[in-house]
Amino acid sequence: MAGRALIVEADGGSRGNPGVAGFGALVRDAATGQVLIERAEPLGQASNNVAEYAGLIAGLEAALRIAADADVEVRMDSKLVVEQMSGRWQIKHEDMRRLAGQARGVVRQLTSGGGRVRYTWIPRDRNKAADALSNLGMDGRSIDRMPGSVADAASESTADSLVAQMDSGRGAALTGATRLVLVRHGVTDLTVTGRLDGRGGSNPPLNALGQDQAEATAATVARLVAGWQASDQERVEPSSSPVHLVTSSLRRAAMTGQAIADRLGVTPVEDRDWDERAFGEWDGLTFAEIGTRHPAKLARMRADTAYAPPGGESRDAVTARVRLAAERARSRGGIVIVASSRVPILVVLTDALGIGTERFWTLQTAPASVSVVEFWPDGGISVPMVNLTSAVDGHQS
């Protein structure tokens, strides 16, 4: 005989299909309706179906944590997943077969303990709690919690709270984020040879590869924007996601920004505080050349944020101006795309992630990459994406 009766509600989604994806799942006590566990995770770039299967697996794993012999009813609004897992539909896609196999592995653990699992399709409007969690996953938030437990005694279910707010007409507290989309410029002739080129340097344009990268990145940004706007339109008013575009004054960033502007139909605004760090006398040199000629100064620059290369800027000075620029960008609201350079982007990312100055250089931000920081009305910050690149000429940019 099966043990404790549980209900798993699961969902997943993708803004773009494939696009920015995430899943949500929760487990309820079948008798009382109390939420026992809720989970949400971002998945990076994935399809709706992959995200839905990920939500199913997360829900089954959560049920197993509660009772290894549980009597589980899985409720989902995905007809595909319900029919495939019930054995009524064939699974033809390789990704789906792999994920279904993972789900069945968890089911076997439940049934071997005396439990059982069955699947029920429900309309989307009856799956709001899991949908709310999956949207948090797509927003870059990770949740794995037991509402009402001793460790979480003061908390209510995040998903049920969001649904109640949406149904009351007040809107969810976690809507209305300002999304800062940080785009590093495409390559120049100096970039590909590893030579420094900061504010006050030779200021080269994008080369042919850099222009191709800018076009590919513009297409990626357009897909992300379309996905965010579609999701926001479902939850709030259509005008909630205005799009702004800011570029540094350097030619390579302005050209990259113009490619995005052409794709989105917006007008770029220049802000010099997004310029790359000024490297002074070191402009045009590689780090190997600087290390040979000025080893002590290079070591000091890496260790001392207040030290400026001869004729250049300290990292503290760059950080101060970039923080002002980021605050101006945030004040625009909606979706703010910034075309800039490596050091300014690292300033924003390390601030958002709480990374100390000693690990400033540990994040990878490739040319023509996209990173996203979200600032929420409740004061929360999330980083759903870092260093997303587009393939150009068979290579990752």
Catalytic residue, chosen from 52, 61, 185, 374, is 185
Rounded to whole angstroms, the Cα distance separating 57 from 27 reads 12
pLDDT level of residue 236 (50, 70, 90 thresholds): very low
- 189 pLDDT exceeds 90? yes
Task: For the beta carbon of residue 218, count every other beta carbon within 10 angstroms.
Answer: 24
pLDDT level of residue 149 (50, 70, 90 thresholds): low
Rounded to whole angstroms, the Cα distance separating 173 from 66 reads 29
pLDDT level of residue 1 (50, 70, 90 thresholds): low
> What are the residue boundaries of the structural domains of the chain, listed by start?
5-167, 178-396
Per-residue confidence (pLDDT) for residue 368, from 0 to 100:
96
- 231 pLDDT exceeds 90? no
Q: What is the rounded average pLDDT for all residues in the chain?
A: 88
Per-residue confidence (pLDDT) for residue 30, from 0 to 100:
94
Catalytic residue, chosen from 52, 276, 313, 374, is 276
Domain 5-167 has CATH 3.30.420.10: yes
Q: Is 93 a catalytic residue?
A: no
- 12 pLDDT exceeds 90? yes
pLDDT level of residue 167 (50, 70, 90 thresholds): low
pLDDT level of residue 218 (50, 70, 90 thresholds): very high
Give tens-digit pLDDT for 36-84. Answer: 999 999 998 889 999 999 999 999 999 999 999 999 999 999 999 999 9
pTM above 0.85, yes or no: no
* 178-396: CATH number: 3.40.50.1240
CB of 11 closer than 8 Å to CB of 59: no
Rounded to whole angstroms, the Cα distance separating 124 from 122 reads 6
- 395 pLDDT exceeds 90? no
CB of 388 closer than 8 Å to CB of 370: yes
Q: Is 185 a catalytic residue?
A: yes
**Mean per-residue pLDDT for 100-120?**
94
Do 5-167 and 178-396 show the same overall fold?
Answer: no
pLDDT level of residue 32 (50, 70, 90 thresholds): very high
